[in-house]
Structure 1
């Protein structure tokens, strides 16, 4: 099967956007399609856009085929695509696996409201946990190189006792943060990608939330990742992420047409996807 997609990135976080309003994929397994297309086009994830009950919807699959409830930079890329393709207003809502999210396009920047930070807890003097659409463990420390972050990130992501302690036995994303001249620097080891990514929207939000508590600084906070910077804001208890997005071009992917559609979202643990109750 030949599938058309648009490749985009948000601060270096790369995605393929598949418009199911034009190319429906009912009857096919999006998990296996995502894995095939991600390998062909070297991307962090695949986003499927559709519409339910009059609102646009977004589903995000990691490059290993795991469906996530949310992705901050993916949401920002989806926002830009939908605004440029279908929607006349600069402010609208998108249904994600983590519920309805308010989004805004202003000039070359895209802002996404992730909602409240949830389930915060301090694990020890260095480790903090917070849920910002997906689970994040934030590690307070000093500057470290990517290879060290990769090794430590993989170890913590797979540390069963830590994951069970914070309530996510399947694993957590891991963010390493330290102070810099603008705000904080962030290096995120992402589940599903299983590596340090150039940027992570939900990770940047989680990192800024923890930094405000630990370092005594107030939001908005600039988070600097390998791929670029995001501004994390707070309004009425809700965290938003704001930064640029970029089109990388149209691509064609190929997937085996014998893939059956999954009976349920392709998750390896119990999750509450918002669209299942719609």
Structure 2
């Protein structure tokens, strides 16, 4: 069976998108492992299924390179909104997308009949360790918490934006050997569902630089939920201010994050790369 797909990215966080309104997928875990490979497949950080929903304009399911299903992806959901709008699945400029982390509201920014960027209401951050989840005793929140990994002590702040994040501030994020350091956090027993890890360098109160190690995918060029978690952590640690636009500079581009008393808002681009057809899966 041939499967049409669209390759899209948000700040370089690229996925293979499949319209499941027209082409339902039976084994997305296996499909993601095969076609996400950058040498033997299409190449991407995973696959995203755009599915019908009884409660929203569409439903998003996303699978990492290793086949694991993620609950939420901030860059992918903007691309889902673009696909839904540009393909007339829903023609409103405010969309509701159903995810495993709940329904997200997306305000579209449209030019010449196509969506070019969007603002996503990402919801309120979760700081309760048991909900993130983080295995730690007698802690209401983990802000600037000391975690010893092998012989190195890290000051971490943990946040969930529908998926778990561990945020670390550093004076020089470029010197970090992420393929070595990232897995130490991802697979640490403190994080029973593994964790996404953000390394943040502060430029000023309105600008952060970020590198990210995503669970199930490795280092990616961008992570929308991670950028949101980074700004929340920066506010909690006194580096940034609430209700202010913060530019998060990622390797794939910039996201603008605003953390308010009500929610976290993320604004960023969504870009179509190309369409194609998967002829067979081996």
Q: Which residue of 1 aligns with 2:131?
A: none
Match of 1:214 among 237, 250, 253: 237
Task: Describe the superposition over 1:63-110 as per-residue Cα deviations: whole angstroms up to 9, x where unpaired.
Answer: 111001111101111011111112211102010011110011113321
Match of 2:207 among 168, 178, 183: 183
Q: Give 1:140 deviation, angstroms.
A: 1.3
1:58 has 2:60 as partner: yes
Match of 2:164 among 107, 123, 135: 135
Q: Which residue of 2 aligns with 1:121?
A: 142
2:93–2:109 Cα contact (<8 Å) kept: yes
1:230 has 2:247 as partner: no
Q: Which residue of 1 aligns with 2:31?
A: 33
User: Which structure features the higher share of helix residues?
Assistant: 1
Task: Describe the superposition over 1:16-64 as per-residue Cα deviations: whole angstroms up to 9, x where unpaired.
Answer: 1100111122xx2111112112121110021101112252111010111
TM-score by length of structure 2 reads 0.83
TM-score by length of structure 1 reads 0.84
Q: Give 1:121 deviation, angstroms.
A: 2.2
Q: Which residue of 1 aligns with 2:278?
A: 253
What aligned pairs does 1:9-48 form with structure 2 within 5 A after superposition?
A: 9-25=9-25, 28-39=26-37, 40-48=41-49
Q: Which residue of 1 aligns with 2:3?
A: 3
CA distance in structure 2 between the partners assigned to 1:171 and 1:42 by the alignment: 24
Gaps of 5+ in 1: 164-168, 258-278
Q: Which residue of 1 aligns with 2:77?
A: 75
Alignment coverage as a number of residue pairs: 248
Match of 2:96 among 72, 93, 96: 93
Greater relative contact order (Cα < 8 A, sep 6+): 1
Gaps of 5+ in 2: 111-115, 128-140, 147-153
Q: Give 1:255 deviation, angstroms.
A: 4.9
